[in-house]
């Protein structure tokens, strides 16, 4: 009888409470408005890129194909987390079922892994274009770019199925409060009364392979790109290329740095408050900056976007 009661206590947690950020109601509303505006800008920027890439023939190239994939990915990546985060700050929906938590975790981290891989593919694409311009069109054709993009999506969604399965086997007892604003593996490990050693090791190995390998490919590609830029005879050309690369590298360092801090560690029992602050970079800040740094700063894209808005404005005026 006692064993049956203990088993009920271990498996009885069917809903979790997402704590979010502590603070007054006015602070919660301020954060809510900031996150809402950032989410709107992120979606707007990425939708604009997708429309331009798909409707304008001058952007039917491997580089813009990858950027269109990144934009599509960012929309779903932020949508998997931010609407629930906004509800938490409003104080209207802090509870989430165990199944709902699993689904949110799976999609956030699948999209995140896909982005890690896609960014490394984009860096490799730029490496080929800048370091081997004469052979670029032969190497990076539509077939290869499609296979690379598809591989990023498949691997990203497949690898996260492993820790997701292990999480479903956990038992929970005691508190059901997750000290975060989204369902993260760290919080589950802290709350679980099961042995989490296998899950921690699986998550560590996956993060090590996906994050560190993609980071290595990306940084090596940019080192080669910068080395090639240094041999450009024109000072103006060097400055323009360095300006583009420096903004890309700053964003990549922010993305990979925060990802490594959050996921590439053998133990998940760390300060969750620090994790929450770093998670904001991964889930909200970097997705907001990506479309503007990678695409919307481009002179060709800005010109095409201006023409599109003027055409759209004329259509509305005629109506």
Which pLDDT score is estimated for 181? 85
pLDDT digit string (tens) for 64-111? 999 999 999 999 999 999 998 898 888 767 788 888 889 999 999 999
Which pLDDT band holds residue 6 (cuts at 50, 70, 90)?
A: very low
Q: Residue 10 pLDDT > 50, yes or no?
A: no
Question: What's the confidence (pLDDT) of residue 76?
Answer: 95
pLDDT of residue 237: 62
Task: Please give the model's pTM, rounded to 2 decimal places.
Answer: 0.87
Which CATH number describes the domain made up of 2-318? 1.20.1070.10
In angstroms, rounded to a whole number, what is the distance separating the alpha carbons of residues 151 and 153?
5
The per-residue pLDDT for range 137-190, each reduced to its tens digit, is 899 998 999 999 999 999 999 999 999 999 888 888 777 888 888 888 887 888
In sequence order, what are the residues at sequence separation of 6 or more whose Cβ sits closer than 8 angstroms to the Cβ of residue 1?
Answer: none
Categorize the per-residue pLDDT at 4 as very low, low, confident or very high, splitting at 50, 70 and 90.
Answer: very low
Residue 80 CB neighbour total at 10 angstroms? 21
- φ and ψ at 207, to 5 degrees? -65, -40
Where are the domains positioned within the chain?
2-318
> Which conformational region is residue 174 in: left (phi greater than 0), alpha (psi within -120 to 50 degrees), or beta?
left
Query: Tokens at residue 44, please?
Result: 């707007």
Q: Supply the pLDDT for residue 200.
A: 86
* Helix/strand/coil for 95: strand
- Which SS3 state, helix, strand or coil, does residue 130 take? helix
Mean pLDDT of 208-237: 85
Token readout for 227 is 């080395």
Over the chain, what is the mean pLDDT?
83
User: Does position 121 have pLDDT exceeding 90, yes or no?
Assistant: yes
Map tokens 């077939």 to a residue. 143
**Percentage of the chain with pLDDT > 70?**
82
Judge whether residue 241 has pLDDT over 70: no
């Amino acid at each position: 009888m006692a064993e049956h009661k203990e088993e009920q206590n271990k498996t009885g947690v069917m809903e979790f409470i997402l704590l979010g950020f502590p603070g007054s109601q006015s602070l919660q509303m301020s954060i809510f408005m900031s996150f809402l505006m950032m989410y709107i800008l992120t979606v707007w920027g990425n939708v604009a890129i997708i429309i331009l890439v798909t409707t304008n023939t001058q952007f039917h190239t491997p580089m813009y194909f990858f950027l269109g994939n990144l934009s599509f990915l960012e929309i779903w990546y932020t949508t998997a987390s931010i609407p629930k985060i906004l509800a938490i700050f409003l104080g209207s929906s802090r509870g989430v079922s165990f199944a709902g938590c699993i689904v949110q975790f799976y999609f956030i981290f699948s999209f995140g892994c896909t982005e890690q891989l896609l960014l490394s593919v984009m860096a490799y694409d730029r490496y080929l274009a800048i370091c081997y311009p004469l052979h670029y069109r032969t190497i990076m054709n539509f077939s290869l770019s499609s296979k690379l993009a598809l591989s990023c999506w498949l691997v990203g969604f497949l690898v996260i199925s492993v820790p997701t399965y292990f999480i479903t086997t956990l038992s929970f007892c005691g508190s059901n409060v997750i000290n975060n604003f989204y369902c993260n593996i760290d919080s589950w490990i802290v709350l679980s009364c099961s042995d989490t050693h296998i899950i921690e090791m699986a998550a560590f190995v996956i993060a090590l392979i996906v994050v560190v390998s993609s980071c290595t490919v990306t940084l090596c590609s940019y080192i080669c790109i910068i080395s090639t830029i240094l041999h450009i005879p024109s000072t103006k050309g060097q400055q323009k290329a360095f300006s583009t690369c420096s903004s890309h590298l700053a964003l990549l360092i922010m993305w990979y740095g925060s990802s490594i801090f959050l996921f590439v560690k053998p133990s998940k029992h760390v300060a969750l408050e620090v994790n929450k602050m770093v998670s904001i970079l991964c889930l909200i800040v970097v997705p907001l900056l990506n479309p503007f740094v990678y695409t919307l700063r481009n002179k060709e894209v800005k010109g095409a976007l201006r023409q599109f808005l003027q055409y759209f404005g004329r259509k509305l005026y005629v109506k």
